[in-house]
Chains A and B, each alone.
Chain A
Amino acid sequence: MTETIKTDCLIIGAGPVGLFAVFELGLLDIRAHVVDILDKIGGQCAELYPEKPIYDIPGFPTVTGQGLIDNLMKQIEPFGAQFHLNEMVSEVETLGTATAPLFRVKTNGDTVFETKTILIAAGGGSFQPKKPPIPEIEAYEQESVYYAVRKIETFRDRSVLIVGGGDSALDWTLNLVPVAKRVTLMHRRDDFRAAPHSVEQMRALVRDEKMDLKIGQATRLEGQEGRLSSVICRDNDGGEFAVACDAMLPFFGLTMKLGPIADWGLSLNENLIPVDTEKFETSVPGIFAIGDINTYPGKLKLILSGFHEGALAAQKVQRYVYPDRRVTFQYTTSSTSLQKKLGVA
């Protein structure tokens, strides 16, 4: 059992809104931990449009998705937030009361937090692997169809079909060839967008007959009681072929799903979390929702709205964390105490 991490605020989502919340909380002496399911910081900005210019961030006539994230990371540096990447919050348990909230939060990586407040800044939800629309694929997800490799040993001495043409597909092909009984890589075309070096390595393994490469798309699964025996595929001329395998790894990129948030007892409205517009608090006191994941009358899904929401939510978080503190409003331009926190005074 890992040690429980005690904190004042847990932020779910390391996108721009979650990052700026670190800043607003930091000015109020609240240190945050940040959890994100991606392996990098930046949310959609980093995952979907790192190179694309954004034109509606105040003060930046134009900034790329990654540029904005890099600047935010610089801005929040003084506050030493701790990041827990590659982890998804799976469970939230209420320990406290409405006036003195306390939550136990668990991630799928077995990290456990005890936190006074939670800021959900999860955007469009968590990025999860896309599941191909192959009939009955769900029936095989326990024992034969995997969307990620958690343990290489799972695939030892098995016949594995890997589907896709990107880095995940190619990297796992190369890593599983020495372990698996046989690896077949299948892609819809004989052209791969994965790193050229990996593609060359894969082609060499095919030449040496250490693995197989097929061009086509999976259409049907065959097997019994959740155990795969073969995958029926269509080639580009409409012909059918079968790949005998007992494990399949489809790599079709990521999609955003609300995920476990739906099970935390919060009121939801069409997969969004309703909040008030004073504190951006959810139906559960101590849990806040900011950015694209929340909804309220007049809501605009803009990054700048998320920044504003984070600033106001932080004020209420302060009430929970420091209930006896006299609240005085200060500006970073003139307050020496804020400037000390920022490390500039």
Chain B
Amino acid sequence: MAKIQFIDFGGTARTVEAEPGSTVMEAAIKNGVPGIEAECGGACACATCHVYIEPDWQEKVGPPSSMEEDMLDFAFDVRPNSRLACQIQVKAELDGLTVRTPEKQA
């Protein structure tokens, strides 16, 4: 299991356990983390699981694919460290990953 920390727009941090092979979005939904909506259920089709990767983790997480980059056009306040949580696969190296959720998803 890997630990993933979500920090919401107000600054509250929540840490959850995520299974390797699942996605960061699934870890949030399973644990009822607020700030992630995932309307489309992980199809990379709605941009409501938008997160900001903490700078220390950006290199390990990597950049979005071109399909994800296109979908980020539907998110608000997109920054260079923006990703869609449904497209980040949990793996051992990401143990301790910290992401921030935006003010509004949809």
Q: Does A172 contact B (CB under 8 A)?
A: no
Q: Does A166 contact B (CB under 8 A)?
A: yes
Binds B, one of A76-84, A87-95, A250-258: A250-258
**What chain B residues lie within 8 Å of A48 (beta carbons)?**
39-41, 43, 45-46
**What chain A residues lie within 8 Å of B74 (beta carbons)?**
130, 166, 252-253
Q: Does B14 contact A (CB under 8 A)?
A: no
Q: Does B57 contact A (CB under 8 A)?
A: no
Interface residues on B, range: 20 to 34
Q: Are B40 and A49 in contact (CB under 8 A)?
A: yes
Known A-B contacts A44-B40, A48-B39; A255 and B73 likewise in contact (beta carbons under 8 Å): no
Q: Which residue of A lies closest to B46 (CB)?
A: A48
Closest CB in chain A relative to B75 CB, distance in Å: 8
**What chain A residues lie within 8 Å of B70 (beta carbons)?**
193
The 0/1 profile, CB within 8 Å of A marked 1, for residues 70-84 of chain B is: 101111111010000
**What chain A residues lie within 8 Å of B27 (beta carbons)?**
none
Kindly state the separation between the CA atoms of A187 and B69 in the bound complex, as whole angstroms.
Answer: 13
Q: Would you call the interface of chain B mostly helix, strand, loop, or mixed?
A: loop
Q: Which residue of B lies closest to A219 (CB)?
A: B77
Known A-B contacts A48-B45, A164-B73; A133 and B103 likewise in contact (beta carbons under 8 Å): yes
Closest CB in chain B relative to A63 CB, distance in Å: 15
Q: Does A223 contact B (CB under 8 A)?
A: no
Q: Does A178 contact B (CB under 8 A)?
A: no
**What chain B residues lie within 8 Å of A253 (beta carbons)?**
46-47, 74
Q: Are B76 and A124 in contact (CB under 8 A)?
A: no
Q: Does A217 contact B (CB under 8 A)?
A: yes
Which residue of B72, B80, B106 is within 8 Å of A255 (Cβ)?
B106
Interface residues in A107-134 by Cβ distance below 8 A to B read: 124, 130, 132-133
Q: Does A52 contact B (CB under 8 A)?
A: yes
Q: Are B76 and A133 in contact (CB under 8 A)?
A: yes
Closest CB in chain A relative to B14 CB, distance in Å: 21
The 0/1 profile, CB within 8 Å of B marked 1, for residues 229-262 of chain A is: 0000000100000000000000011011000000
Kindly state the separation between the CA atoms of A52 and B76 in the bound complex, as whole angstroms.
Answer: 25
Known A-B contacts A133-B76, A252-B76; A52 and B43 likewise in contact (beta carbons under 8 Å): yes
**What chain A residues lie within 8 Å of B98 (beta carbons)?**
none
Q: Does A165 contact B (CB under 8 A)?
A: yes
The 0/1 profile, CB within 8 Å of B marked 1, for residues 185-229 of chain A is: 001110101000000000000000000000001000000000000
Q: Are B46 and A255 in contact (CB under 8 A)?
A: yes
Closest CB in chain B relative to A236 CB, distance in Å: 8
Closest CB pairs A-B (n = 10): A255-B106, A253-B74, A133-B104, A193-B70, A49-B43, A48-B40, A48-B45, A165-B73, A52-B43, A252-B74
Binding site for B on A (CB under 8 A): 44, 47-49, 52, 124, 130, 132-133, 164-166, 187-189, 191, 193, 217, 236, 252-253, 255-256
Binding site for A on B (CB under 8 A): 39-41, 43, 45-48, 69-70, 72-78, 80, 103-104, 106
A-B contact pairs, 27 of them (CB 8 A): A44-B40, A48-B39, A48-B43, A48-B46, A49-B40, A49-B45, A130-B74, A130-B76, A130-B106, A133-B76, A133-B77, A133-B103, A133-B104, A187-B73, A188-B73, A188-B78, A189-B73, A191-B69, A193-B70, A217-B77, A217-B78, A252-B73, A252-B75, A253-B74, A255-B39, A255-B46, A255-B48
Given contacts A124-B39, A252-B76, 19 further A-B contacts (CB under 8 A): A44-B40, A48-B41, A48-B46, A49-B41, A49-B45, A52-B43, A133-B77, A133-B104, A164-B73, A166-B73, A188-B73, A189-B73, A217-B76, A217-B78, A253-B46, A253-B47, A253-B74, A255-B106, A256-B39
